[in-house]
Structure 1
Amino acid sequence: MMFARVVLFYLLLSASAGIWGLLMLVIAPFLPYPWRYYLIVNRWCRFAVWLTRHIVGIRYEVTGRENIPNQPGVVLANHQSTWETFFLQQVFSPQTTLIKKELLYVPFFGWAFALARPIAIDRSNARDSLKQLSKAGGERLAEGIWILVFPEGTRVLPGQPAKFSRGGAALACANMAPVVPVAHNAGEFWPKAGWGKRPGKVTVMIGPAIYPKGPDPRSIVEVNRQAENWVNQALESLGTPSTQP
Structure 2
Amino acid sequence: MQHDAPSLSIKVRSALFFVLYNLAGIFYSFLCVLIGPFLPLKPRHRFINGWTRCAMWLDRHLNRVQVNLVGAENLPTQPCLILANHQSSWETFYLQTVICPQTTVVKRELLWVPFFGWGLALLNPIRIDRSKGNAALKSLLKQGKERLQQGLPVLIFPEGTRQPPGKLGKFNHGGTMLACQAGVPIVAISHNSGDCWPKGSWVRYPGTITIRISPLIETEGKKAQQVTAEVKEWIQGNYPGELSE
What is aligned with 1:199?
206
* Contact 2:166–2:192 under 8 Å retained in 1: no
Which one of the candidate residues 239, 242, 245 is aligned to 2:241?
A: 239
Between 142-151 and 60-69, the greater mean CA deviation after superposition: 60-69
2:232 partner amino acid: E
* Contact 2:159–2:169 under 8 Å retained in 1: yes
- Deviation digits for residues 163-197 of structure 1, max 9, x if unmatched? 21000000100111110000000101110122121
List gaps (5 residues or longer) in structure 2: 1-8
1:51 partner amino acid: L
What is aligned with 1:75?
82
Which one of the candidate residues 3, 6, 14 is aligned to 1:6?
A: 14
* Contact 1:71–1:144 under 8 Å retained in 2: yes
CA distance in 1, matches of 2:142, 2:94: 26
CA distance 1:15–1:69, change in 2 (3 Å): closer
1:221 partner amino acid: Q
Partner secondary structure for residue 140 of structure 2: helix
Structure 2 counterparts to residues 108-119 of structure 1, below 5 A: 108-119=115-126
1:37 maps to 2:67: no
Structure 2 counterparts to residues 167-186 of structure 1, below 5 A: 167-186=174-193
CA distance in 2, matches of 1:57, 1:160: 24
For residue 143 of structure 1, report the CA deviation from its aligned partner: 1.0
Which one of the candidate residues 115, 134, 142 is aligned to 2:149?
A: 142
For residue 134 of structure 1, report the CA deviation from its aligned partner: 0.6
Structure 1 runs (4+) deviating above 2 angstroms are: 67-70
CA distance in 1, matches of 2:99, 2:75: 9
Partner secondary structure for residue 164 of structure 1: coil
CA distance in 2, matches of 1:240, 1:83: 20
RMSD, aligned α-carbons: 1.3
Which one of the candidate residues 20, 35, 41 is aligned to 2:28?
A: 20
Which one of the candidate residues 82, 88, 96 is aligned to 2:103?
A: 96
Partner secondary structure for residue 162 of structure 2: coil
With normalisation by structure 2, the TM-score equals 0.93
Aligned length: 237
Partner secondary structure for residue 124 of structure 1: helix
2:197 partner amino acid: W
Structure 2 counterparts to residues 207-222 of structure 1, below 5 A: 207-214=214-221, 219-222=223-226
1:242 partner amino acid: S
2:136 partner amino acid: S
CA distance in 2, matches of 1:70, 1:108: 30
Percent identity between matched residues is: 45
CA distance in 2, matches of 1:160, 1:116: 30
CA distance in 2, matches of 1:70, 1:13: 30
- Deviation digits for residues 89-124 of structure 1, max 9, x if unmatched? 122221001111121111123112211101121121
1:241 partner amino acid: L
What is aligned with 1:51?
58
CA distance in 1, matches of 2:120, 2:166: 32
Between 178-187 and 106-115, the greater mean CA deviation after superposition: 106-115
* Contact 1:158–1:240 under 8 Å retained in 2: no
What is aligned with 1:132?
139
What is aligned with 2:69?
62
1:71 partner amino acid: Q
CA distance in 2, matches of 1:194, 1:90: 23
1:17 partner amino acid: G
List gaps (5 residues or longer) in structure 1: none
CA distance in 2, matches of 1:172, 1:3: 42
